[in-house]
Amino acid sequence: MGLRIVVTGWTGQVVRAMLERVPAGVEVVALRRPDLDLAIPKMVAPALRAARPHVIVNAAAYTAVDQAESEPDLAMRVNGEAAGEAARAAAALGVPVIQISTDYVFDGALDRPYREDDATGPISAYGASKLAGERAVAAASDNHAILRTAWIYSPFGKNFVKTMLRLAETCDEVGVVADQQGCPTSALDIADAVLAVAHNLVARPQDETLRGIFHMSAAGEAVWADVAEAIFAERERLGGKPVAVKRIATTDYPTPAQRPANSRLDCGKLAARHGVTLPAWRGSLATCVERLLKDQG
């Protein structure tokens, strides 16, 4: 019998990537409305129970970071309460749960990449809701892996790469923040990593070192302006017109939600415990840009 991974969500970047990258012998079942609505946490357990999972991946989330500032209760229901319900359902079914979390649980004040045991301190409603989800999962089930990632992009949905390519159509220069550091991470690479972690949790049910919190982002680091320059360089290589990047400060581009200045994650624990290392960001980014431009053409 193959591995049956039940994932919350349908339109999210990670879920769509998992559905694309699922290997032979593995079934990925994505739950969506009307069967599952994370804004109604009591729907979570019955939907997961009916799906008969070997592993549950809670990948659906309220991800509108700025909008969460005006809808903190909704963000908390989806990212906090519903995550706890998913973990309780997993515990009742006797299966592992994987919770996808975020760099936004940190305040960004450290001058080095964050490790799993560093103090959390979210500075946005979104970050607070995701931290609440982590804590709810940990409280509900010992058989969990919380995977924090950062700066997700992909060929799917809305993300920074798509925004930059759209702006490149009409702009010769784009202002991009250059004082926030992070690890741009492909959802397709995340999907591969999640699938590997899921396999490990099922294959080694007694191995406590596979459980807990792990950081999971691409190798290397960048500021947003570096990412934009890489996007435009790949676009130009494939025949697009040159587009310049104007490096600006976060204060020049105010948003309702505050972002961590440092979103870099130390992923050594994931490599040591699970044998999982994500590729360097530049190669994955170039692949994504090329795919998006081909799709446009």
238-262 confidence digits (pLDDT tens): 999 999 999 999 999 999 999 999 9
Judge contact between 284 and 189, C-beta under 8 A.
yes
User: Does 128 score more than 80 pLDDT?
Assistant: yes
pLDDT tens, 131-149?
999 999 999 999 999 999 9
Query: Residue 60: its pLDDT value, please?
Result: 87
**Which helix or strand (DSSP H or E) is residue 56 part of?**
strand 55-58
* Angle ∠(207,9,50) on CA atoms, nearest 5: 70
Query: Residue 254: its pLDDT value, please?
Result: 92
3-class DSSP assignment, residue 176 = strand
User: Does 156 score more than 70 pLDDT?
Assistant: yes
Query: Residue 1: its pLDDT value, please?
Result: 57
User: Does 278 score more than 80 pLDDT?
Assistant: yes
pLDDT tens, 24-70?
999 999 998 888 888 888 889 999 999 999 999 999 899 999 999 99
3-157+184-219+264-278, CATH topology level: Rossmann fold (3.40.50)
**Which helix or strand (DSSP H or E) is residue 152 part of?**
strand 152-153
Which residues sit opposite 174 in a β-bridge? 245
Query: Residue 222: its pLDDT value, please?
Result: 98
Q: Give the CB-side neighbour count of residue 42, counting CA atoms within 13 A.
A: 0
Tokens of 102: 């975020």
Please tell me whether the overall predicted TM-score, pTM, comes out greater than 0.85 for this model.
Answer: yes
Give yes or no: 153 in active site: no
Query: Residue 33: its pLDDT value, please?
Result: 83
Query: Of 104, 114, 126, 153, which residue is the catalytic one?
Result: 126
Pairing relationship of beta strands 181-182 and 222-223 according to DSSP bridges: antiparallel
